[in-house]
Amino acid sequence: MVNRKEEILKLIEEGYSTAKELARYFNVSLMTIYRDLRELEEEGKIIRRHGNVEIKREEEFKENVCAVCKKDTDLRLAFIYILKGGKKIHACCAHCGLIAYRNINQDSIEIGITRDFITNNPVNIFTSSFVVGGTVSPCCKPPAFVFAEREHAERFAKGFGGYVLDFGEATLKMEELMKIGQRVDISI
């Protein structure tokens, strides 16, 4: 019997992009497909964003230079905007990601993704909770951290300080903390 996960990879290559489509194709439950997708994701073969699945291409592994500070981006902290048309803007962390947002045409942004600081799961930047500032900093200062759950952000801030904010507030707070007088020159 052909390995279903191998088949799934081929189907994704062919354009299948949701668990529902895949479940229908194999005539198995969504749960079964989710389990396969989770394993494929853990193996680094696919990425999931906004309910869609994609083959993880080589370029996803390559270091991408931060559009703001030019540091190589670490996949765990990377903050990525995908623009209409597919162009991507990488930031090394939420700090630079929040700064970048103020400097790109916001209407052109299709997707904003990063990872939850605790679970490492991909999350939608725009619906996440942020902790801006605080006493620990894994990348750029002042730091910013992203959490899918506001409660996690609050507990994190209780321990390490910082402001618990939504995305819009976080961009303003970062600007305030950085006292940015002029636009940052970002390479797109």
| Interface positions with Zn ion (CB under 5 A) | 66, 68-69, 71, 92-93, 96, 139-140
In this complex, which beta carbon is closest to Zn ion, that of residue 37 or of residue 77? 77
- Residue 170 Cβ vs Zn ion, minimum distance, rounded to whole Å: 14
Tokens in use for 70? 């030019």
DSSP assignments along 144-176, one per residue: EEEESSHHHHHHHHHHH--EEEEHHHHHHHHHH
- Residue 66 Cβ vs Zn ion, minimum distance, rounded to whole Å: 3
In this complex, which beta carbon is closest to Zn ion, that of residue 16 or of residue 145? 145
**Residues in Cβ contact with 56 at an 8 Å cutoff, skipping those fewer than 6 apart:** 44, 45, 46, 47
- Residue 133 Cβ vs Zn ion, minimum distance, rounded to whole Å: 14
172 phi, psi to nearest 5 deg: -70, -40
In this complex, which beta carbon is closest to Zn ion, that of residue 46 or of residue 98? 98
- Residue 24 Cβ vs Zn ion, minimum distance, rounded to whole Å: 41
CA distances from 118 to 13, 123, 165 (A): 30, 11, 17
Q: Do 26 and 4 form a contact (C-beta atoms < 8 A)?
A: yes
In this complex, which beta carbon is closest to Zn ion, that of residue 95 or of residue 152? 95
